[in-house]
Amino acid sequence: MIFRSLKGILLANAIIETGAGVVVVLSPSLLMLDSAEAPSTTSLNLGRLYGIAAITIGLFSYLIYTYGESAKLIRFTALTIVGFHLAVGLHYYGLYAGSMGVHPGIFTLHLTLALIFIMIYLKKT
């Protein structure tokens, strides 16, 4: 099972963030709600940057999963991942609630991951 230790959070995050990042880099318009207007060049470029950041976070998670031997490093990285997903989820919820045209799946995914990862963290520590 993937969650035998806190390293499971790192591996799950690596898979999810890298996969989502690749999808967003290839199709950044997925971050927006469907609208009559085509997304602006600025929105598409910001979407691609978000995808690149997601890939980077995923690769970082994988490197710590693979080479991290310090229990403190793994514990604090897992907490940082929880904080990241909570912050992104709340930020995108605010954008969605303010009718800024972002897809509700963004905040739903990040808040769900934050909840799942914090439950695993609390169970494993």
Whole-number pLDDT of residue 99: 82
By the 8 A CB rule, do 62 and 18 touch? yes
pLDDT by position in tens, the chain (length 125): 555 789 999 999 999 999 999 999 999 888 776 565 677 888 889 889 999 999 999 999 999 999 999 999 999 999 999 999 999 999 999 989 998 878 889 999 999 999 999 999 999 88
Which residues lie closer than 8 Å to 16 by C-beta, 6 or more apart?
A: 58, 113
Whole-number pLDDT of residue 30: 80
Q: Name the 3-class secondary structure at 125.
A: coil
Whole-number pLDDT of residue 35: 60
- Cα(9)–Cα(57) distance, rounded to whole angstroms? 13
